[in-house]
């Protein structure tokens, strides 16, 4: 994407392939900073939230890099986006190359509270 006017730095957590060490599964990850335009989904495009729940459950982003989407069949988690203190998992990342400003649009869903990993060491806004 040639224009970076609306992009801000965000932490993306990418997972390495799962390994088994002494019978225990382990998955390592790498945190990196990428510049994205991140926005919540419009409320009219979502199912109603539970009563009293004010947490946004879905985000979309635009940026120059393809993100890894979750593959539930193989048990591979998608890339995580750290946004306002909450981790969101990438569910899809699609190239939009119909104009000179080609870019990837990615959709995210927040992880449940019990699955939330620790925040990144270098917390970004």
Q: Give per-residue pLDDT as tens, 63-96.
A: 988 999 988 777 778 999 999 889 999 999 999 8
In 3D space, the residue among 56, 52, 102 whose CA is nearest the CA of residue 83 turns out to be 56
CATH at residue 66: 2.40.10.270
Residue 88 lies in a domain: yes
Residue 121 lies in a domain: no
Distance CA 48, CA 53 (A): 10
Q: Which residue's entry shows tokens 């593959």? A: 71
Residue 95 lies in a domain: yes
Residue 3 lies in a domain: no
Residue 125 lies in a domain: no
Residue 58 lies in a domain: yes
Q: What's the pTM value of the predicted model, to 2 decimals?
A: 0.78
Beta strands in the chain (DSSP E): 8-15, 19-21, 24-26, 29-40, 58-63, 80-83, 86-96, 103-110
**Which residues form the domain of 40?**
8-18+25-45+54-115
Number of structural domains in the chain: 1
């Amino acid at each position: 994407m040639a224009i970076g006017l609306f992009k801000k730095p965000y932490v993306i957590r990418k997972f390495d392939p799962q390994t088994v060490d002494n019978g225990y599964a382990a998955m390592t990850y790498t945190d990196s900073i990428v510049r994205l335009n991140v926005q919540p989904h419009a409320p009219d495009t979502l199912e109603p939230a539970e009563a009293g729940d004010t947490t946004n459950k879905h985000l979309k982003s635009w940026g120059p890099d393809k993100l890894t989407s979750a593959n539930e069949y193989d048990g591979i988690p998608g890339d995580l986006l750290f946004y306002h203190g909450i981790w969101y998992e990438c569910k899809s990342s699609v190239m939009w190359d119909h104009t000179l400003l080609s870019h990837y649009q990615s959709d995210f869903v927040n992880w449940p509270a019990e699955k939330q990993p620790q925040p990144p060491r270098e917390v970004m806004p």
